[in-house]
């Protein structure tokens, strides 16, 4: 019978490999048996309290215990909402306000933190919950009534306006994603992950679910190690990590400091990356250091459950090239739609839209925002069919590979021209003396400003750009910085830079 619940992965694996380590960090290690029993106890506890079919906040730092709690919520017929105490305060407040959760599960260690927030739900403690007597009958009853479009999690993503939106995902789209991703990246029982992504982003789906599907192992890399490249690689070697799915900035931190001169990840064979453009200079260093490894670029918004496109690097890239985002996983379609809502022609830029089971259910308690982006397929006037408008622009290259161009809302009007700020960035990023850049528009002053890091000086950069860009695309001001601010997700924090820009006199 077809799989309808993500927990079926765990149930099959615990029979085969009960004592194998599933998730581990520096403090605790949980086997599949531990995860199975703890999560069933947590599910039973929720049912004891009459909490079912509700979002349950999991207010815990990153830990194997937190993952068991996620599954516990799903056992209880609820959906988990991960909140890490390290998240910015205002964001946590907004999430509590949007959700009004009936229950919050936490660790004693973060009780103090939690008490500073306002909510009226039931407060439950992990250490007590796992001692609950497992109620097999009640859990079976929940499973009997569960269907594959029931929600599993709500993950909050920033809107471009800064107000977080809760993306609700169900069993069906997660199962479909995990099946496709696992096939493309070749996961197996031998896979050893080092997780980098926080548990409150859907990026962690890549480690969480394949681990229970295959009986693999996922190490939760201590965050501190991402500051210390040699220690990070030592950690990878110590645990014989063979697979990483990280944001680009975590990978470039290692290569930028010439870490490979000193030490290499000996066991790493599968490297997947995404969320940001990979600077070619750094990418070449990785390829040179690990010639046996496969490198795969992944793209996809949270709203379409994890990633939706992939590109397996199969050739060399030179400075000035852009690594494509490739093509959709099986069972997804990508539509490139022009402003006139027609399919973009070969080489023409269009908005990247996603069609298929991958679509999540929408935003929690926000029908208005949901209906703005989960819309009727404009190419279909015959029956209801949803697509998700990503707000990203892309085009197909001559090989038929999808290339990310820029965010749609980075289109500006300046000196009478419609300009993609992304296009200016692409051109600047091609230059050897530039590491990273971000191009912003100050509407009030009608000025384009570029923030960048790299060796090249401001005045020299301006001279070079005058040759490369049409007059109307030249930034009015160049700002060389030591480093660009990053969001918790590892992307350039454009919102922060924009605020700084607008605050300047």
Partner 1 sequence: MEEILEILQEMHPDVDFEKEQHLIDDRIIDSLDIVTLISEIDDRLDVTIPAEEIIPENFNSVKALSELVRRLDEE
| Minimum gap (Å) between residue 223 Cβ and partner 1 | 9
Q: Is 137 in the site for partner 1 (CB under 8 A)?
A: no
User: Which residue in 155, 194, 152, 146 sits closest to 171, CA to CA?
Assistant: 152
Q: Which is closer to partner 1, CB of 243 or CB of 435? A: 435
Site for partner 1 in 279-298 (CB under 8 A): none
Does 109 engage in binding with partner 1 (CB under 8 A)? Answer: no
Place of tokens 């085009």: 395
Owner of token pair 């404009």: 378
Give dist(CA 329, CA 459) in Å, integer: 44
Distance CA 198, CA 85 (A): 11
Residue 501 DSSP symbol: H
- Per DSSP, what are the bridge partners of residue 440? 449
Q: How far is the CB of 100 from partner 1 (least distance, A)?
A: 31
- Part in contact with partner 1 (CB under 8 A); list of ranges 179-187, 237-245, 259-267, 295-303: 259-267
Three-class secondary structure of residue 199 per DSSP: coil
Write the binding mask 323 to 362 for partner 1: x where contact by CB under 8 A, - elsewhere. Answer: ----------------------------------------
In whole angstroms, what is the distance from residue 382 CA to residue 360 CA?
23
DSSP state string for 203-221: GGHHHHHHHHHHT-EEEE-
Cα(406)–Cα(420) distance, integer angstroms = 7
Three-state secondary structure string covering 354-378: EECCCCCCEECCCHHHHHHHEEECC
Using CB under 8 A, count the residues that bind partner 1. Answer: 18
Q: Sign (positive/negative) of CA torsion 169, 174, 180, 181?
A: positive
If the CB atoms of residues 224 and 338 are measured against partner 1, the closer one turns out to be 224
Q: Which is nearer to partner 1, 170 or 253 (CB)?
A: 253
Q: Which listed residue (133, 238, 261, 467) binds partner 1 by CB under 8 A?
A: 261
C-beta of 126 vs 201, nearer to partner 1: 201
Q: Give the nearest distance from C-beta 83 to partner 1 in angstroms.
A: 19
Told to check if 201 binds partner 1 by CB under 8 A, we report: no
DSSP secondary structure letters along 405-472: EEEGGGEEEETTEEEEHHHHHHHHHTSTTEEEEEEEEETTTTEEEEEEEESS-HHHHHHHHHHHS-GG
Which window, 74-82, 257-265, 290-298, 328-336, contacts partner 1 (CB under 8 A)? Answer: 257-265
* Residue in 92, 236, 253, 352 binding partner 1, rule: CB under 8 A: 253
How many whole angstroms separate alpha carbon 126 and alpha carbon 146?
24
For the record, the structure tokens of 22 come out as 């599933």
Closer residue to partner 1 (CB): 248 or 352:
248
Contact flag: residue 452 with partner 1 (CB under 8 A): no
Q: Looking at beta carbons only, is 393 or 461 nearer to partner 1?
A: 461
Nearer to partner 1, 199 or 225 (CB): 225
Is 485 a residue that touches partner 1 (CB under 8 A)? Answer: yes
- Distance in Å, CB of 17 to partner 1, minimum: 35
Taking the least distance from each CB to partner 1, the nearer of 110 and 263 is 263
> Which residue, 261 or 467, has its beta carbon nearer to partner 1?
261
Interface segment toward partner 1; rule CB under 8 A; list 60-68, 128-136, 345-353, 478-486: 478-486
483 binds partner 1 (CB under 8 A): yes
Nearer to partner 1, 103 or 253 (CB): 253
Candidate list 44, 98, 195, 259; residue touching partner 1; CB under 8 A: 259
| Contacting residues for 155 by C-beta, under 8 A, at least 6 apart | 81, 82, 166, 167, 169, 200, 201, 202, 302
Nearest to 360 by CA among 373, 347, 348, 349: 373
Q: Which burial class, exposed, middle or buried, applies to 391 when counting CB atoms under 10 A from its CB (0-12, 13-18, 19+)?
A: middle
Q: How far is the CB of 124 from partner 1 (least distance, A)?
A: 28
Stretch that binds partner 1, among 240-248, 294-302, 313-321, 480-488 (CB under 8 A): 480-488
Out of 469, 486, 489, 495, the only residue in the binding site for partner 1 (CB under 8 A) is 486
Site for partner 1 (CB under 8 A): which residue of 90, 125, 257, 496? 257
Closer to partner 1 by CB, 281 or 414: give it.
281
- When asked if residue 499 is in the footprint of partner 1 (CB under 8 A), the reply is no
CB of 84 to partner 1, least distance (A): 14
* Choices 70-78, 170-178, 219-227, 281-289; region in contact with partner 1 by CB under 8 A: 219-227
Alpha carbon distance 468, 428 (integer Å): 9
- Phi/psi of residue 391, each to 5°? 75, 10
DSSP label of 330: T
Q: Which runs of E-coded beta strand occur in 43-150?
A: 55-59, 79-83, 103-106, 122-125
Name which of residues 224 to 243 contact partner 1 (CB under 8 A).
224, 226-231
Binding test (CB under 8 A) with partner 1, winner from 16, 97, 108, 262: 262
Site residues for partner 1 per CB under 8 A: 224, 226-231, 253, 257-259, 261-263, 482-483, 485-486
């Amino acid at each position: 019978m077809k799989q309808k619940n993500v927990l079926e992965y765990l149930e099959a694996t615990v029979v085969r490999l009960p004592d194998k380590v599933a998730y581990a960090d520096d403090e605790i290690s949980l086997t599949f048996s531990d995860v199975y029993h703890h999560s069933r106890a947590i599910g039973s506890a929720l049912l004891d309290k009459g909490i079912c079919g509700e979002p349950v906040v999991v207010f815990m730092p990153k830990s194997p215990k937190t993952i068991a709690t996620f599954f516990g919520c799903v056992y209880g017929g609820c959906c988990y909402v991960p909140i890490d105490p390290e998240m910015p305060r205002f964001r946590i407040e907004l999430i509590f306000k949007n959700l009004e959760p009936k229950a919050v599960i936490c660790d004693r260690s973060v009780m103090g933190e939690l008490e500073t927030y306002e909510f009226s739900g039931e407060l439950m403690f992990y250490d007590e919950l796992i001692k609950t007597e497992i109620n097999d009958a009640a859990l079976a009853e929940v499973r009997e009534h569960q269907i594959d479009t029931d929600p599993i999690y709500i993950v909050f993503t920033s809107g471009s306006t800064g107000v977080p939106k809760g993306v609700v995902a169900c069993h069906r789209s997660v199962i479909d994603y995990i099946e496709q991703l696992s096939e493309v990246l070749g996961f197996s029982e031998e896979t050893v992950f080092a997780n980098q992504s926080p548990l409150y982003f859907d990026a962690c789906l890549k480690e969480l679910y394949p681990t229970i599907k295959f009986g693999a192992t996922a190490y939760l890399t201590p965050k501190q190690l991402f500051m210390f490249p040699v220690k990070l690689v030592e950690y990878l070697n110590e645990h014989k990590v063979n697979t990483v799915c990280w944001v680009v900035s975590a990978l470039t931190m290692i290569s930028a400091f010439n870490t490979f001169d000193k030490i290499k990840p000996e066991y790493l064979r599968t490297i997947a990356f995404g969320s940001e453009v990979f600077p070619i200079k750094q990418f070449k260093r990785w390829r040179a250091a690990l010639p046996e490894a496969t490198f795969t670029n992944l793209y996809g918004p949270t709203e379409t459950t994890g990633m939706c496109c992939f590109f397996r690097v199969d050739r060399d890239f030179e400075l000035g090239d852009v690594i494509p985002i490739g093509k959709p996983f099986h069972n997804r379609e990508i539509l490139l739609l022009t402003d006139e809502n027609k399919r973009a022609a070969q080489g023409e830029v269009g908005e990247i839209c996603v069609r298929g089971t991958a679509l999540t259910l929408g935003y929690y308690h926000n029908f208005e925002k949901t209906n703005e982006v989960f819309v009727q397929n404009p190419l279909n006037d015959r029956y209801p069919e949803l697509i998700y408008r990503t707000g990203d622009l892309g085009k197909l290259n001559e090989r038929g590979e999808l290339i990310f161009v820029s965010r749609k809302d980075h289109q500006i009007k300046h000196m009478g021209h419609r300009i993609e700020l992304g296009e200016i960035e692409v051109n600047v990023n091609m230059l050897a003396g530039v590491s990273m850049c971000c191009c912003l528009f100050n509407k009030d002053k009608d000025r384009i400003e570029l923030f960048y890091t790299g060796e090249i000086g401001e005045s020299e950069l301006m001279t070079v750009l005058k040759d490369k860009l049409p007059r109307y695309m030249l930034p009015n001001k160049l700002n060389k910085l030591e480093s660009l601010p990053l969001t918790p997700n590892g992307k350039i924090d454009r919102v922060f830079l924009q605020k700084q820009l607008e605050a300047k006199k």
